[in-house]
């Protein structure tokens, strides 16, 4: 534990590798372009005139663009939420799904799928479930006492477990036809994503609201007493981080289902490549989260095209080796 | 596999395995044929009347093996909704002891004891009902579940249900087994006759491109080996999905649009089916080619499959008439 803390401090002391951030953003832009041009029916060139270009344009604008933007938004939101949750819990193993919000969203969405309701109702169900879970956490975690510091997180964790049980129950009751839709939702799939504008706006606003806290988050990683002594209003920061992470998670899972591993992986990748300073690591986690989900979805659409895979299944497959490689490289330094 | 089957049979006191033939190699098959011929002649000489009676109580398993009972089944469990439909159709409904969930046709089937869903059979209830025959669907019931039932000593008939030709074959076996051979034969003939007529009528027409939607999100369809795909071919519709891993692959919406189908077909609940309409250039949208078929008929390889085929061919005929 002490060794671990020393390592974090070493990382903090190390000059931030800020120059990597523009590179990551460049890669993100390139990948977004690739996601538009390349898909399950191969490369499409949507520019120019003629019937063929027009047909290509329709597919690029109506199918690929909304899906790519949804992937970008969901990945960014989960990267942001993951970074916040890891600071909040001071646990490098934490991921945004411990907040309980995604479990609530899953119950709402799966119930709609089970009942064969339209896609719109499925999205509304996920939103209602997430909102309900968040309200429940905030209501149950009210009040003061010895547990105040952990009450918010613990309430979320226990609720997440309860939602997990409900999800299992719904899966057990589902007819075979509905089961694939439910499993794809749980694995994370962008073929059923709603219009991405809502999630993109959310990502923009949340980044704007939370990035100014980055300096305070840096101090919080050294412990709450130290942070309070240095003039950080710890309680307000914790509440803001919790709410920000919960909202980001909710928007992400409504968009892409409970796509796993991004929220855990993106903040680590950001810290490994950019250093532990949250002023760069936080935007880095957002960009890397988006990068991960965009590449996973590209692979899901094209790997065995025209057959389709859920993006979530491929994400860990792509992300885990990358993570291990960066971890090894960091150890050798 | 054959060994396990034999072991299961030996545990069952009221069934006698006559033979379980699955040719392994040509030599073995030849050897088996000679031996079987000798046995048959000997048997025929010794107990001629008993042999013919026993042969009437033998049915074909989906894997080609044989299941023989020593007396007609009185308490049958049906493990698939279309098997329930078949039992009613051949007039053997009085012999049904229990049915699997979603056995909703004919309506009388709803009143029968329910033995749980496909993937979670209520084993206690299965045993309480004391079945003397369990009829499963090889493509639908999980092999592990059937092994479990076999281990309980129950005789399992795992019926094939993969192609159109399986339906009349299973109907005939079912009729013979339950003493309704005449009714089953009429049914099977009618089924074959109408399928044949519809196929002939559409054989020479120019083929239409079609896509079958089982589920909208993710978009799930049928592969070329599925009987729905066979139905499409019989109506002169070429399935866009010409190769796939598995019979119900998840498909790309983009690939459907670029293949420009004349027909996009589904059946209730037809969730979000209207969404195809925004692709105004598609032949299917321009020419009334978005088809919602009656529920269940084309999804179950039972006697009503021919109704599904009739509806599908009618939709194809209508789509051909539009310019």
Q: What is the rounded distance in angstroms from the CA atom of residue B100 to the CA atom of residue B112?
A: 9
Closest CB from B252, B271, B278 relative to A305? B252
**Does B254 sit within 8 Å of A63, measured CB to CB?**
yes
**Does B255 sit within 8 Å of A63, measured CB to CB?**
no
Element housing A318 (H / E): helix A311-332
**Does B251 sit within 8 Å of A306, measured CB to CB?**
yes
Q: What is the DSSP letter of B215?
A: B
Q: CA end-to-end span of chain A, whole Å? A: 21
Q: What is the rounded distance in angstroms from the CA atom of residue B57 to the CA atom of residue B37?
A: 20
Of the candidates A290, A277, A332, the residue with the CA atom closest to the CA atom of residue A69: A290
In the sheet that holds B208-212, the strands lie side by side as B237-239, B208-212, B263-266, B290-292
Q: Pick the residue from chain A with its C-alpha nearest to B242.
A: A306
Closest CB from A117, A118, A307 relative to B251? A307
Task: Identify all chain B residues contacting A58, using CB atoms and an 8 Å cutoff.
Answer: 279, 281
Are B195 and B174 within 8 A, CB to CB? no
Q: What is the rounded distance in angstroms from the CA atom of residue B269 to the CA atom of residue A178?
A: 11
Q: Which residues of A touch B (CB under 8 A)?
A: 39-41, 55, 58-59, 62-64, 116-119, 122, 172, 175-178, 180-181, 184, 189, 191-192, 301, 304-310
Tokens of A311: 């993006």
User: pLDDT digit of tens for each residue in chain A (333 aa)?
Assistant: 344 444 544 444 455 566 788 999 999 999 999 999 998 888 888 888 888 888 888 889 988 999 999 999 999 999 999 999 998 888 888 889 888 899 999 999 999 998 888 888 999 999 999 999 989 988 887 766 655 667 778 888 899 999 999 999 999 888 888 888 899 999 999 988 888 999 999 999 999 999 998 888 888 888 888 888 888 888 888 888 889 999 999 999 999 999 988 999 999 999 888 888 888 899 999 999 999 999 999 999 999 888 899 999 899 888 888 888 878 877 776
What is the distance in angstroms between the Cα of A136 and the nearest Cα belonging to chain B?
30
Domains of chain B and CATH, by start:
1-204 (3.40.50.1980), 205-321 (3.40.50.1980)
Task: Identify all chain A residues contacting B215, using CB atoms and an 8 Å cutoff.
Answer: 177-178, 180-181
Give every CB contact of residue B193 below 8 A, 6+ residues apart in sequence: none
Number of residues in chain B:
323
What is the distance in angstroms between the Cα of B24 and the nearest Cα belonging to chain A?
35
What is the distance in angstroms between the Cα of A46 and the nearest Cα belonging to chain B?
14
Strands B116-117, B120-121: pairing kind: antiparallel
For chain A, the C-alpha Rg in angstroms (whole number) is: 20
Q: What is the rounded distance in angstroms from the CA atom of residue B139 to the CA atom of residue A91?
A: 47
Which pLDDT score, from 0 to 100, does residue A74 have? 96
Which stretches in chain B have pLDDT values below 70?
1-55, 323
Taking the C-alpha atoms of B36, B39, B40 and B42 in order, what is their torsion angle to the nearest 10 degrees?
160
Q: Give me the residue label for tokens 């007609």.
A: B72
Q: Which of A39, A66, A308, A313 is the mutation pick for testing B, counting most B CBs within 10 A?
A: A308
Q: What is the rounded distance in angstroms from the CA atom of residue B290 to the CA atom of residue B275?
A: 10
**Does B216 sit within 8 Å of A119, measured CB to CB?**
yes
Strands B263-266, B290-292: pairing kind: parallel
Are A114 and A129 within 8 A, CB to CB? no
Q: What is the rounded distance in angstroms from the CA atom of residue A4 to the CA atom of residue A8?
A: 6
Q: Which of B250, B275, B276 is the mutation pick for testing A, counting most A CBs within 10 A?
A: B250
What is the distance in angstroms between the Cα of B280 and the nearest Cα belonging to chain A?
11
Q: Pick the residue from chain B with its C-alpha nearest to A61.
A: B254
Task: Identify all chain B residues contacting A175, using CB atoms and an 8 Å cutoff.
Answer: 102, 117
**Does A307 sit within 8 Å of B252, measured CB to CB?**
yes
**Does B271 sit within 8 Å of A119, measured CB to CB?**
yes
* ipTM summary value: 0.79
Q: What is the rounded distance in angstroms from the CA atom of residue A218 to the CA atom of residue A83?
A: 11
Which pLDDT score, from 0 to 100, does residue A232 have? 82
Strands B66-68, B58-60: pairing kind: antiparallel
Q: What is the rounded distance in angstroms from the CA atom of residue A182 to the CA atom of residue A164?
A: 14
């Amino acid at each position: 534990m002490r060794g671990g803390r020393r390592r974090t401090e070493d990382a903090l002391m190390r000059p931030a590798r800020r120059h990597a951030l523009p590179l990551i953003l460049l890669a993100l832009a390139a990948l977004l372009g690739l996601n538009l041009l390349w898909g399950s029916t191969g490369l499409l060139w949507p520019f120019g005139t003629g019937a063929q270009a027009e047909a290509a344009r329709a597919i690029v604008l109506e199918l690929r663009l909304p899906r790519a933007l949804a992937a970008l938004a969901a990945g960014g939101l989960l990267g942001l939420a993951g970074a916040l949750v890891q600071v909040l819990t001071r646990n490098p193993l934490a991921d945004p799904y411990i907040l309980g919000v995604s479990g609530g969203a899953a119950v709402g969405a799966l119930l709609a799928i089970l009942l064969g309701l339209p896609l719109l109702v499925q999205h509304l169900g996920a939103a209602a479930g997430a909102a309900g879970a968040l309200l429940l956490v905030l209501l149950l975690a009210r009040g003061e006492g010895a547990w105040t510091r952990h009450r918010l997180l613990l309430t979320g964790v226990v609720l997440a477990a309860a939602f997990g049980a409900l999800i299992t129950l719904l899966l057990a009751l589902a007819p075979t036809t509905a089961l694939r839709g439910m499993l794809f939702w749980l694995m994370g799939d962008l073929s059923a994503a709603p219009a991405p504008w809502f999630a993109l706006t959310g990502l923009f606003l949340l980044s704007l609201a939370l990035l100014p806290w980055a300096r305070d988050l840096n101090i919080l990683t050294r412990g709450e007493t130290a942070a309070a002594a240095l003039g950080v209003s710890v309680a307000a920061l914790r509440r803001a981080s919790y709410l920000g992470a919960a909202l980001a998670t909710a928007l992400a899972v409504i968009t892409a289902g409970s796509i796993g591993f991004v929220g855990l992986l993106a903040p680590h990748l950001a810290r490994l490549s950019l250093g532990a300073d949250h002023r760069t690591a936080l935007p880095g986690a957002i960009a890397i989260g988006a990068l991960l989900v965009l590449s996973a979805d590209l692979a899901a659409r094209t790997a065995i095209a025209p057959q389709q895979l859920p993006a979530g299944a491929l994400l860990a497959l792509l992300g885990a080796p990358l993570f291990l490689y960066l971890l090894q490289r960091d150890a050798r330094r | 596999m054959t060994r396990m089957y034999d072991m299961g049979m030996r545990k069952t006191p009221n069934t006698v395995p006559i033979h379980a033939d699955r040719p392994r190699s040509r030599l073995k098959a030849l050897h088996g044929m000679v031996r079987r011929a000798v046995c048959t002649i000997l048997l025929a000489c010794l107990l001629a009347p008993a042999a013919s009676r026993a042969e009437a109580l033998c049915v074909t398993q989906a894997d080609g093996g044989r299941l023989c009972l020593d007396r007609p089944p009185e308490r049958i469990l049906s493990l698939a909704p279309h098997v329930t439909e078949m039992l009613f159709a051949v007039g053997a409904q009085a012999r049904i002891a229990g049915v699997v969930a979603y056995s909703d046709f004919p309506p009388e089937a709803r009143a029968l004891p329910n033995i749980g869903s496909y993937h979670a059979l209520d084993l206690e209830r299965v045993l309480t009902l004391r079945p003397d025959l369990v009829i499963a669907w090889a493509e639908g019931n999980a092999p592990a579940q059937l092994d479990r039932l076999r281990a309980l000593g129950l005789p399992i008939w795992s019926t094939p249900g993969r192609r159109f030709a399986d339906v009349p074959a299973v109907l005939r076996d079912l009729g013979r087994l339950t003493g309704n051979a005449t009714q089953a034969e009429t049914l099977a003939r009618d089924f074959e006759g109408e399928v044949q007529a519809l196929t002939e009528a559409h054989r020479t027409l120019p083929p239409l491109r079609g896509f079958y939607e089982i589920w909208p999100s993710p978009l799930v369809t049928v592969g070329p080996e599925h009987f729905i795909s066979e139905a499409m071919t019989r109506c002169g519709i070429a399935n866009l999905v010409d190769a796939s891993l598995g019979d119900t692959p998840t498909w790309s919406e983009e690939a459907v649009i670029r293949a420009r189908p004349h027909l996009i077909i589904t059946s209730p609940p037809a969730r979000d089916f209207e969404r195809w309409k925004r692709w105004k250039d598609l032949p299917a949208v321009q020419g009334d080619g978005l088809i919602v078929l009656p529920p269940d008929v084309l999804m179950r390889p039972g006697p009503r499959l021919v109704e599904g085929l009739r509806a599908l061919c009618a939709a194809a005929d209508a789509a051909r008439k539009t310019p």
